[in-house]
């Protein structure tokens, strides 16, 4: 996430003007905080370890909050320094005592917190869900909770429970500093814990790994998620946050980043997720070496996820339109990539991987990953010509043709005559291409998790009947 940055003096001047009277009400020591960040050249951000916040990936630091923070540091023209903590009880005091400049950890703006801290602009909305294991008696209200309930200490979930306890004195729960929300959800999924509470965005991610996680009820309605500052932080730093989030909101980068981490998991299909995990344990091992051999510079798990979407890893799969095999190749594509038998698993995987790689090469070089990957994937489904038509429509209607989040909003227009008659290649089932890409992204996420947690592959893969 890069920005054209003004000089430090001009930046501060711009921010001061934008908040006008606000800044005039602050003390000199408060107004100097943003200047100190710029003078030292370092933005100190506190966060928590987690897949949607901050973690060390294969190529370096990753996570939704990390990428947002890196963008803000770029905006200020300073270096980002991340301080990751294991629990909120350790993290929150660090911003109050000035050891860090702000907290970027998916923090909900609860009433209790807003009395103690200041918050930047809300960039997400999440609700709190009471979670139980599929097959157990479903609780539909707080009064139905009869088993063990554990939440993270100092969390918004603990705050919610305290508010309910004033109405239901028999409500009991435990708070833990030794486990994070993902670990508590794992305990519920394995039957070791009856209930926990999770934010809706984190739960959506975890249900791709543990489909038996079920929602009992919404225990707290949507709340904004924002970065947190100490209650005596200056308005100049807050103004910088407002401007930064305004910029990435207007140029689409915030929406693209949100889509990267959460956009493809909003829809949840219990049966499909269970079937996929079962196939990953029982069918994929037979073909894993082929995916690894022919993926070349691509992630083999991505090619495997595409293959599952195409054929459910059935080498003899056939569609009514005549495409066949593990990668569902047309006769023309098979001929182009020297596939003599589309029903031969090895040939199909090789041909499909090479064809997808060729599509990636034909996406303009200026488009970076992951957008170029999702665009090439859509082209695999509907053809490069139809993808280019969708990109033209995207630009025509004010979107960014180089961003997947904008293009996927316009792909469905290729089904409407008033739109496709103005394109070069005409009608296409563009909405199906959107579903196609989103499904593969979900399968890919699950494969990455299974690959990084091999003990999960050793667990039983049978699917029991559920209510």
| Residues forming the active site | 310
Give the chain's radius of gyration (CA, Å): 25
The crossing angle, in degrees rounded to 10, of helices 284-294 and 300-311 is: 130
Which secondary-structure segment (H or E) carries 126?
Answer: strand 124-133
Strands 150-152 and 174-176: parallel
| Cα–Cα distance measured from residue 355 to residue 333, given in angstroms and rounded to the nearest whole number | 8
**Strand ranges (E), 164-212:** 174-176, 196-199
On the 0-12 / 13-18 / 19+ scale of CB atoms within 10 A, 9 is exposed
Written as one string, the DSSP assignment of 254-293 is HHHHHHHHHGGGSS--HHHHHHHHHHHHHTHHHHHHHHHH
Which has the closest alpha carbon to 209: 436, 464, 442, 439?
442
| Cα–Cα distance measured from residue 99 to residue 228, given in angstroms and rounded to the nearest whole number | 14
- For residues 222, 226, 229, 233, the Cα torsion angle rounded to the nearest 10 degrees is -100
| Cα–Cα distance measured from residue 115 to residue 118, given in angstroms and rounded to the nearest whole number | 8
Omega before 370 within 30 of 0, i.e. cis: yes
Q: Which residues pair with 124 in a beta bridge?
A: 225
| Cα–Cα distance measured from residue 405 to residue 229, given in angstroms and rounded to the nearest whole number | 30
Cα dihedral sign for 107, 109, 111, 117? positive
Encoded tokens for 79: 């270096």
Tokens 């989030």 sit on residue? 245
Cβ proximity of 293 and 287 under 8 Å: no
């Amino acid at each position: 996430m890069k920005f054209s940055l003004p000089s430090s003096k001009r930046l501060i001047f711009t921010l001061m003007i934008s908040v006008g009277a606000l800044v005039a009400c602050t003390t000199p020591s408060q107004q100097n905080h943003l200047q100190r960040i710029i003078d030292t050249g370092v933005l100190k951000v506190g966060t928590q370890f987690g897949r949607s916040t901050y973690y060390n990936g294969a190529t370096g630091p990753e996570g939704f909050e990390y990428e947002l923070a890196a963008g803000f540091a770029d905006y200020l023209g300073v270096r980002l320094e991340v301080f990751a903590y294991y629990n909120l009880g350790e993290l929150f005091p660090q911003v109050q005592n000035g050891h860090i400049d702000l907290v970027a950890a998916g923090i909900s703006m609860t009433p209790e917190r807003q009395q103690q801290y200041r918050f930047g602009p809300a960039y997400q909305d999440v609700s709190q869900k009471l979670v139980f294991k599929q097959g157990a008696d479903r609780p539909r209200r707080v009064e139905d909770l009869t088993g063990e309930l554990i939440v993270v200490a100092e969390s918004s979930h603990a705050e919610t429970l305290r508010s309910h306890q004033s109405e239901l004195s028999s409500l009991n729960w435990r708070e833990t500093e030794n486990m994070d929300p993902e670990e508590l959800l794992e305990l519920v999924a394995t039957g070791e814990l009856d209930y926990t509470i999770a934010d809706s965005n984190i739960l959506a991610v975890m249900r791709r790994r543990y489909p038996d996680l079920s929602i009992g009820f919404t225990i707290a309605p949507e709340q904004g998620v924002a970065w947190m500052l100490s209650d005596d932080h200056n308005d100049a730093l807050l103004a910088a946050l407002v401007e930064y989030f305004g910029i990435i909101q207007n140029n689409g980068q915030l929406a693209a980043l949100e889509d990267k981490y959460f956009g493809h998991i909003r829809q949840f299909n219990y049966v499909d997720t269970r079937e996929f995990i079962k196939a990953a344990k029982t069918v994929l091992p037979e073909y894993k070496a082929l995916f690894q051999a022919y993926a070349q510079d691509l992630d083999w798990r991505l090619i495997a996820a595409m293959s599952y979407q195409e054929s459910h890893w059935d080498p003899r799969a056939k569609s009514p339109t005549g495409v066949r095999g593990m990668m569902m190749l047309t006769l023309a594509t098979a001929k182009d990539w020297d596939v003599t038998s589309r029903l031969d698993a090895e040939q199909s995987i090789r041909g499909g991987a090479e064809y997808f790689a060729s599509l990636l090469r034909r996406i303009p070089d200026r488009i970076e990953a992951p957008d170029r990957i999702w665009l090439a994937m859509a082209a695999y489904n509907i053809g490069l010509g139809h993808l280019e038509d969708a990109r033209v429509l995207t630009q025509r209607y004010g979107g960014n043709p180089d961003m997947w989040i904008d293009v996927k909003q316009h792909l469905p227009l290729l089904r409407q005559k008033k739109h496709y008659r103005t394109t070069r290649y005409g009608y296409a089932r563009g909405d199906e291409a959107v579903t196609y890409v989103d499904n593969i992204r979900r399968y890919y996420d699950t494969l990455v998790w299974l690959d990084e947690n091999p003990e999960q592959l050793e667990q039983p893969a049978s699917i029991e009947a559920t209510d």
